[in-house]
Amino acid sequence: MDFLQTLNAFLAHLKLAKGASPHTLRAYQLDLQAFTQFVAQTEGDLRAVSKRLIRRYLAHLHEQKASTRTVLRRLSSLRSFYRYAIREKWIAENPLEEIESPKKEKRLPVSISYLQVELLLAQPDLSSYLGLRDRVIMELFYSSGLRLSELVGLNRTDFDQKNLILTVFGKGKKVRQAPITQTAAKWLVNYLAHPERNLKTKEHAPELDATAVFLNKLGRRLSARSVDRNFAAYLKASGLSEKITPHTIRHTIATHWLEQGMDLKTIQLLLGHTSLATTTIYTHVSPKLKREVYDKSHPRAN
């Protein structure tokens, strides 16, 4: 079996045995293709990959100024692939065995103020059907701290209008119940009942897309890329920093929850974090929270 066949078998294994999503499969494929291109330009023999070559590849990534996050992801993909190749007896030794991973960069999440959130929310044109849809999307981001992939994956049956709850399928296909505000629920109900939305669904959408909450202008399920593109346009119109993304809104509501007195354990559950340590990082973000803790703690603060 040549490398390409092994790669395809590995991707099929991830899809069938591990239940990997299309997004995950695409990421693995891109990572492994980048490595094969490097090998082709150097050794040329993918069966003879050595620890020395892996280290040369890591040096190559460093020269290309790849971020630590990218390097860690590439290494993770290679480790998974070579474990599979060993198991299938395609190779005898794993070249990744003694390769150490670089330490992950600890970046503090970026958040914005409530006034900036309001400015973003005011950008969509509510006189249009698509403008209404985009306002609902923004409301849900801020209401419940949804990830982008979670938002575009929502189906109509995931919305419990009576109890104001969304059933959300997060990372690793973990399911959680995400409360939404009454304000966000009203926007969502209005959007779902919009005549143009339902007309598009009946005319154009296949059965699977008809179950989706958010649809594009053709009546198909809205993609994450489209949401990103629309968000960038609204961001530019608002005059706010170009570094703000939909994920920034997730960080923002987490920070605002903390500032309003919500405990970390509850925030962890609402955001779907596996570890409380991930949630704890928000305690380092808020200048307001730091000031409050300082004033409460310092003997001469008052």
What positions carry a catalytic annotation? 147, 171, 247, 250, 273, 282
Dist CA 19 CA 15 (whole Å): 5
Supply the DSSP string of 182-214, one letter for each residue: HHHHHHHHHHHT-HHHHHHHHHH--HHHHTBSS
| Inter-helix orientation angle 22-41/51-63, to 10° | 100
User: What number of residues does the chain have?
Assistant: 302
Can you read off the two tokens belonging to residue 3?
């490398």
Dist CA 114 CA 254 (whole Å): 12
Which among 249, 38, 45 is positioned nearest to 142, based on CA atoms?
249
Burial of 174 per CB tally in 10 Å (0-12, 13-18, 19+): exposed
Torsional sign, CA 162, 165, 166, 169 = negative
